[in-house]
Chain A
Amino acid sequence: MFLSKIWFILVALVASVATTVALVAPRSASRHLASAEAQSLDRAQYAAEQQLKNDAIRWIQSVAKLGRDAVITETLENATRGNGESSVLNETIRGRLGSLVPDLDSRGIRVLAAVDGNGRIVGRIGEGENNRDAELVSGLEVVSDALRGYMSDDVWGSNGKLTRVAAAPVLSKAKDKVVGAIYVGLDTGDRMVELWRKNLGVDVAILLGGQVLSSSVPEGALGSLADRVKDHQDEIKGAHRTKAFTLPHGNDELLAVAAPFAGQASAMGAHYVLMVKQTQAGGPLELLASTTKEDLGWAVFPWLRLGGAVLLIIGVGLFLQRREMEKPLGVLRSDVQKLARGELQKLDDHKHPGRFGAIARDVNAALERFIHGDGAHDNKKDLSAILGDRGGRSVDLPSLPPLGSPSSTSGFGPQKTPGGFSNPAPTPVSFPGAPSFGPPPSFGQASGAAPGAFSMPPPSGPMPIPGATPNARLSSPPLSGPSRPTPAANVGPGLGGAMPPRPMAAPPAAPAFGGGAPANAHGYSNDGGPTPTVPMPAASTGSLQAARGAMPTAQADDSPTANMNNGAPAPDPDEAHMREVFAEYVAVRSQTGESTRGLTLEKFRERLEENRKAIVAKYNCRGARFAVYVKDGKAAIRATPVKD
C-alpha cells in the first residue's frame, strides 16, 4: 500500500506539474513571442535606419555626379557671375537635368534643382519646375552646406509632405571654388512605405506633425499612433528610437517601434513606425485549437515516447496495486477460505502485510471472542455466517428445574410451574432457521419459586477446574462441522494454536431443533431438517471430570453426588454419558450459584431419557447427546441428535 500511495502521489504531482505547465507555459510563450517580436522590430528598425543612410549617401553621390556635368557647371558659373539671361540659364539647367534624369517618378524624385553660388535656384525639374523665378534658398541648411563645400542630406517636412533631400556642391571647371549646388528631393511616402514593407517584412507608418502621412495598414486603425509616439518623446530624444510598445489595432494588438527621421523634419514630429501584429499565445485551449495536423504527425509528435510513458505509468500503478493490494487480498481470502474450510485454526497475521495483517488479527480476535467470549451464541451465528457454516446444530434444552420439585415432573414439556421442565413457549435458539427449544430459562431459576427442590447450597467459592478456564470451557458452544477442528479444541491452552485441532465427533447431519417452529408436546419445535450435531467440547468433558473430582462429596445424602454414586450406573455408554452430563450439570449449577438440592441422577436420567426418546422419535436418529453449558449465567443443557 505504501508504494502504491507513493506512486499515486507521484502521478498526481506529475499531473499537477503538467497542468501548471499547460496553464503557465502560454503566458511565458507570449512573453517570449513578444520579446522575439520586439527583437525582430529592433532589427527591422536598425535595417530601416541603415536603409535611410544608404539612400542618403547614394543620392548624395548621385547629385555630386550631376554636379560634375560640364553643362551644369558652366551654367552655374555663369549664373553665379551674373552672366546670361536667367531664363536661358533656367532652360539650360532644366533641359540638362531632364536629359540626365529623364524619369523622375520612377526613381521617386520629387524635385531636382540647381542653385548658383549665391543661393538662388537657376533651374529645377519636378515640383515647381514652371517657377522661373530665381528663388533664394541659401538659408536652407542643406543648400548652405553645399555652397560651403559639404555634401549632405536633410529631411524636410514642408507643405504636409516629407521629403528626403540630398545636396552636393558644384565645383568650377578649375575645381578651385564652389559655383553652385544641386539638390534632389525624394518622395517619402507611400513609395517608401511599400518598399520597406516588402524589404523589412513589417508594416510601416510615417508620421509628420501628429498626422499619419502614409501607412501600410489602414490608417483608421492608427488613430492613436501619433499620441503613442508623442508619449515616447523623451525616449526618442535619448535613444533616437522607442522600445517596442503595443498599439491597439481593431481586435488585435500591434507591436510598434518608432524612430525619428533625421534633419529638420525631426523637429516637426516626423517619425517612421515599424509595426508587427502581436501574436497572442492564448491559453492551453487556444493553443490546442490552433494545433495542425502536422503538429500531431509521427515525425513531430513523440507518440511512442508518450504512449510508452503512459503505459509505464499504468503498468507501474497496476503492478504496485497488485503487489500491495490484490495479491495480499487474495492470500487473505484464501486463508479465510481455508479457515472457513477448517484447514486453518486461525489466520497467521504475520503472513499478511500491513492492514491485511490487521484484518487477520481482527478475524482472529473475532474468532477468539466467538469461542470464549460472552454471547457466544450470537457470535457463533455471526461467525457461522462468515465462515459459511453449514455444520450440525445442537438443540438447547429447557432449563432443568430442580429435579426434586414436585411440580417438575412434566419433563421437557411446556413449563407450567416455575422450576418445571415445561416451557410455555418455544424459544428460538441462536441459529437462524434452526429449531429451538425456546427461551432458555434456567433449571434452577425457580429455586425460590419451588422451595425444597434441590436445596443444595451454592459452593462457597469458585469450583476449581484444573487445566482450563472455567468460563471459557463452560460457555464455549461447540462448533459445527464434521471435519472442522473446533475452536473449542483450543480452549485449554487458549487460541494460540499449539494444540492440534480435535475433530468433532458429531455427524454432519444432525437434527436441529427449535427455531420459530411450533412447539411439540415436549416443548421442542423443529421446522428444519436434521443438522449435524455439535458435540460437547472435549475440554469441557475433561473439565467436568475435574469438576466432578472437585465436587464436594461430604454432603448429606441428598447431595446430587451421593445420589449419583448411590445409583450405580449401568456399564453401557449411554449411562456413562448420562452420568457425565449429570455430574457436569451439578458442577455447573454449583458454579453458577444455583441450588442442587433434590437433584438426583435418577430423576435427571429420567428427564433426559424422555427427551432422548423424543428426539430419537422425531429425528429418527440413534440417540442423543447432551451437553451442559452456561446460558445467561445459569446452567443449561443442549441436546444433540446422534445418527450413527
Chain B
Amino acid sequence: MKVSNVFRLEKLMQPMRTPFRFFALSTLSLVCWSLPNTDAYAESVKGRVTLSESLENGRRFPGYWRVENGSVPVSPAVTPDPPVVLVTDAKGQAPEAKTFAVDIAGFGANKPTLIVGTNSVVEIRNGDKVPHDLSIPGQEALMPLERLAPGTLRRQKFPVPGVYEIRSAQYPHLSIAVIVVDNPYAAICDAKGNFKLPDMPEGKATLKVWARGQFVHEQAIDVRNNMKALQIDVASASPVDPE
C-alpha cells in the first residue's frame, strides 16, 4: 500500500515547477503517508484455476466408456462451462439486480453459469422441440418442478444470495448455475482458467471455486498489497501463501 502511494505521488510531482507547489505537495504527501492502512485501499486478486483432467474434459454424468477415435484429435467442448471464482466474507457493493436471458437449445443452455446480484431475474427460453421439466433440486420451494414447453419462457427471481442450479428433470446434464452474490467479487474464468477480482479490500476472506455444478475448491486468502497471483490447482488444492 505504501509503495503504491509513493508511486502515485511521484507521478503527480513530475509537472511541478514551482517550489510552492513542491512544498504543498510534499506536505500532502507526508499527511497521506501518515494515514493508517484502511480497507478503503483496494487491491486486485488474480490467479489461475487449473481443473483436473476429469473436471476439465470430463462429463458431468459419464457413461461406462469414453475413448478417443484414434484418427482425429479430440477438439474442445463446443459449449464451454468455465469455472467461477468468488470471494465470500468480503464486503462490497452488490451487483445491481438485472434480468438475464438463457436460451436452451440442442439440449443445452447457452449460458450454463450466471453471476447475478440479489433480486435478479433469470429468463429461461426453451428453444428445443421437446419440453423441459425445470426446477432447482432441493429448493423446490423457490423454483418448483415445472414443465417448460418448447418455445416458451420461464422467469425465476433470486432474492437471496447463494448458488442455485436449475436442472432439467429428464436431461440432468442440462443445468444452469445461478450464483447470486452480495458483493462484486466473483468472476468467470476464461478459457485458460485465469481470473481477476479487482478492487478487493485488504483483509482476510474466503475464496471458492465453482465448476461442473459444485464447489470444487475453497481456501482462505489474505488480501494485501502486491499479492502474488494465486495458483489454484483443484486436483491438489491447498491454500496458497499470499507472500
Contacts and interface: CB of A to CB of B under 8 A. Distances in A.
Interface string A168-188: 110100011110000000000
B75 A139 contact: no
Given A133-B129, A144-B79, A151-B69, A263 B62 contact: yes
B113 to A, nearest CB: 15
A259 to B, nearest CB: 12
B128 interface: yes
A175 B61 contact: no
Interface of A: 52-53, 56-57, 60, 64, 119-120, 133, 135-142, 144-145, 147-159, 165, 168-169, 171, 175-178, 262-268
Given A137-B106, A263-B63, A264-B173, A144 B78 contact: yes
Contacts of B75: 147-149, 178
Nearest to B76: A148
Contact of B106 (A133, A139, A158, A263): A139
A326 B232 CA distance: 97
A124 to B, nearest CB: 13
Contacts of B78: 119, 138, 144, 147-148
A53 B65 contact: yes
B74 interface: yes
A264 B60 contact: yes
Contacts of A158: 130, 170-171
Contacts of B59: 141, 145, 152
Contact of A178 (B72, B79, B129, B169): B72
In which size bucket is the chain B interface?
A: 35 or more
A347 to B, nearest CB: 96
B67 A151 contact: yes
The A contact surface, by secondary structure, is mixed
Given A135-B129, A144-B78, A154 B72 contact: no
Contact of A150 (B68, B109, B170): B68
Contacts of A57: 64-65
Query: Which 10 interchain pairs have the tightest Cβ spacing?
Result: A139-B108, A136-B106, A139-B107, A264-B61, A153-B63, A267-B172, A149-B74, A152-B66, A158-B170, A138-B106
B170 A159 contact: yes
A169 B129 contact: no
Contacts of A155: 63
Given A149-B73, A171-B69, A154 B105 contact: no
B71 A175 contact: yes
Contacts of A263: 61-63
Nearest to A67: B69
Contacts of A148: 74-78
A141 B173 contact: yes
A140 B107 contact: yes
Nearest to B128: A136
Contacts of A157: 170
A120 B127 CA distance: 13
Contacts of B72: 149, 169, 171, 175-178
A643 to B, nearest CB: 125
B134 interface: no
B174 interface: yes
